[in-house]
Amino acid sequence: MSMFFTIAVIVLVFLIIFQIAKASEYVAVLKGEERGRRQQNKVNGFLMIGFLVLGLVGVYVCNEMFYHKTLLAHESASVQGEKVDSMLWVTLIVTGVVFIITQIILFWFSYRYQESDNRKAFYFPHNNTMELVWTVVPAIALTVLVVIGLRNWFTFTSEAPKEAMKVEVTGKQFGWIFRYAGKDKEFGKKYFRNIDEAASNSLGQIWDDPKNFDDVVVTQTMYIVKNKPVELIINSRDVIHDVGLSHFRLKMDAVPGTPTTLWFTPKFTTKEMKEKTGNPNFQYEISCDQMCGNGHYSMKGVIEVVTQLEYDAWFAKQKPNYFAAFPDKDPANAQPAAPAAGADTTAAKAVAAAAH
């Protein structure tokens, strides 16, 4: 009942405001203010031209001031991203031309066809030809843009080349986990109920699966190789995230329980990009492009693009996550065996001498 009463009051208020506005118009006419209103219309017409000029100048100035700060000022850092850049430029050119033309027409018409005693408004209710033109032309243009977008989408979501390296990317609130397959080139199985941060099992790896024994797990920084295709196998550990690779012009949703994939080929190492951008602090970024909670703003990872030799050196220093979960299995932590009785005393003395 209270809700009905509230709605009725709101409607009544609007009706009163409307009636007051209409009454004000009638009073103005009776007082001979018609001439003042027409004069005001003429002023508004000139203001429309002023806004048009200032607006177009403002667009140009903003472009000159801020374009170099956008990603379009630098070429795509991936081969596949070059097609995305081309699509963006085509879209910007088409929509930009349409925007400028329609804005000029809009403001010019407001000035040119302002109220006049020498002209009577023409009632123009319907025109089949015009409706056909402004429906079919935009439809064709948008269809072409959509086809270009789908073609690009199918390019980097298709099956990756056989030589592509594979990296499993898992999003969580609020960070990224990366897994690399070991010498067997295969990822071990995992189960979400096995996730246990305290036990160094952030992905829920099933330790009964031997394929997990050599898998390497790292957080926040992903290493990939220049000019080598990389396939990302994307997952989420909790809510929907989105892998945003702005410098590579790619993105893909990370959905719990539903792995998604994309692949690309990096063109420049991180070191080369620092030189190209003139920014010594440049980093390739992997961001979450889907609102995922209170800490969404902080969900940023780093991608290091390196040469094959640098990658091999980095990977050789990594330990399988199996050893983090079971330190006693790590050969590096194994206690050296005691020398057998009657061992060569000469060898023992040589070791002792080397230690000193």
64 by DSSP, 3-state: which? helix
pTM exceeds 0.85 for this model: no
Amino acid occupying residue 345? T
- Mean pLDDT taken over the chain: 86
Over residues 49-83, the pLDDT tens digits come to: 888 998 899 999 999 999 988 888 889 999 999 99
Q: What is the mean pLDDT of residues 238-264?
A: 94
| DSSP for residue 328 | G
Over residues 180-235, the pLDDT tens digits come to: 999 989 999 999 999 999 999 999 999 999 999 999 999 989 999 999 999 999 99
Tell me, what's the pLDDT at 130?
Answer: 87
Q: What confidence category does residue 19 fall into, taking pLDDT thresholds of 50, 70 and 90?
A: confident
Q: Is the pLDDT of residue 317 over 60?
A: yes
In percent, the amount of the chain with pLDDT more than 70 equals: 88
Q: What confidence category does residue 354 fall into, taking pLDDT thresholds of 50, 70 and 90?
A: very low
| DSSP for residue 202 | T
Q: What is the mean pLDDT of residues 337-345?
A: 49
Bridge partners of residue 190, in order along the sequence: 205
Tell me, what's the pLDDT at 44?
Answer: 81
What is the side-by-side strand order in the sheet with 241-245? 221-225, 300-306, 284-288, 241-245, 250-254
Q: Is the pLDDT of residue 96 over 60?
A: yes
Of 35-49, 247-261, 270-284, the range with the lowest mean pLDDT is 35-49
Distances (CA, A) of 4 to 10, 11, 70, 248: 10, 11, 51, 55
Q: How would DSSP label each residue in 123-165? A: P----HHHHHHHHHHHHHHHHHHHHHHHHHHHHHHSPPPTT-E
Over residues 100-140, the pLDDT tens digits come to: 999 999 999 888 888 777 777 777 788 888 899 989 999 99
Over residues 134-151, the pLDDT tens digits come to: 899 999 999 999 999 999
Q: What confidence category does residue 355 fall into, taking pLDDT thresholds of 50, 70 and 90?
A: very low
Over residues 152-190, the pLDDT tens digits come to: 999 999 999 999 999 999 999 999 999 999 998 999 999
Q: What confidence category does residue 18 fall into, taking pLDDT thresholds of 50, 70 and 90?
A: confident
Residue 243 backbone zone (phi > 0: left; psi -120 to 50: alpha; other: beta)? beta
CA distance 92 to 145: 11
Q: Is the pLDDT of residue 353 over 50?
A: no
Tell me, what's the pLDDT at 348?
Answer: 38
Q: What confidence category does residue 346 fall into, taking pLDDT thresholds of 50, 70 and 90?
A: very low
Q: Is the pLDDT of residue 9 over 70?
A: yes
Amino acid occupying residue 247? H
